[in-house]
Amino acid sequence: MRVEPSEAHVAAHHHDAPTEEATAVEHVFDLRGVGVHYGDFTALQDVSMGLPRNQITALIGPSGCGKSTLLRCLNRMNDLVGSARVTGEVIYNGENIYDADIDPVEVRRRIGMVFQKPNPFPKSIYDNVAFGPRLNGQRKGLDDTVEQALRGAALWDEVKDKLGDSGLALSGGQQQRLCIARAIATEPDVILMDEPCSALDPIATLKIEDLMRELRESYTIVVVTHNMQQAARVSDRTAFFTVNIDDHVGMRTGALVEYDDTEKIFTQASDERTEAYITGRFG
């Protein structure tokens, strides 16, 4: 990438006094008229939104409205789906990540992902976390990198004496924190999480939510969740999506209904569809 996020970050905050410019919200991502198509099928249409840096943005909405599709579009994971095509612009730190000269591997290094089902590699805890840094060519200081990532994911104390054990031998909640450690080990800019707690019990869920709030200090987080309490508890901004059904051709297309401060969405949504969904009155 031509623009180093760290430099952009420094530049944006290089003001001594809080001027209007300095207090303006800085967007890591600006989506402009984004659509995602699988072959002839349009899964998501005309999404425009800015994702603020160092905040947690929640994507909510009924099954099939395109939340995972949109998330994958933010780090070019859709490239790995043969039929997928993205239209519009996904501006990340000032550049469209779908421009021809952008390296998708570099995009995925900057924008990490944590999936619904914890998916540690069948390797040791240590090797799981060291995987990304090694791939990036890091040879020195790996012990330190692994420790920092595990500390960052609030897992260090639980695993520091068994780093050689298999990652698969951990509990579900620990495995998910291991996956978060693996994601932050490469020092990404953004972490995308697709229903990261749906396989976890309430205690492990709260642990991940606490962790997300800590991670927000250093990263921008975009999280898909079906858990309304979770969206309300953890996120700063919430985007509600719905599925529009075209009766003539039976096409089901996802669309952004409303995007605002989480508090506003949950207390005085502008659109009645949003309110119906968050209060559980949605069919």
User: Could you list the residues that contact ligand ATP (CB under 6 A)?
Assistant: 38, 41, 43, 63-69, 81, 83, 252, 254
Closest distance of CB 113 from Mg ion, Å: 13
Footprint (CB under 5 A) of Mg ion, residues 32-51: none
Minimum distance, C-beta of residue 254 to ligand ATP, in the bound complex (Å): 6
* 225 binding Mg ion? (CB under 5 A): no
Q: Indicate the residue among 66 and 173 with the shorter CB distance to ligand ATP.
A: 66
- Least distance in Å: CB of 70 to ligand ATP? 7
Please count the other Cβ atoms lying within 10 Å of the Cβ belonging to residue 150: 27
Nearer to ligand ATP, 22 or 81 (CB): 81
- Partner whose footprint covers residue 42, from Mg ion, ligand ATP, none (CB < 5 to 8 Å by kind): none
- What does 186 interact with, of Mg ion, ligand ATP, none (CB < 5 to 8 A by kind)? none
Q: Which does 129 bind (CB under 5 to 8 A by kind): Mg ion, ligand ATP, none?
A: none
Applying CB under 5 A, the span of 67-75, 98-106, 229-237, 247-255 interacting with Mg ion comes to 67-75
Binding status of residue 78 toward Mg ion by CB under 5 A: no
Return the one option of Mg ion, ligand ATP, none that residue 282 interacts with (CB less than 5 to 8 A, by type). Answer: none
Among 45, 68, 205, 262, binds Mg ion (CB under 5 A): 68
- Distance, in Å, from the CA atom of 233 to the CA atom of 214, rounded to the nearest integer, reads 13
For residues 112 and 179, is the Cβ–Cβ distance under 8 A?
Answer: no
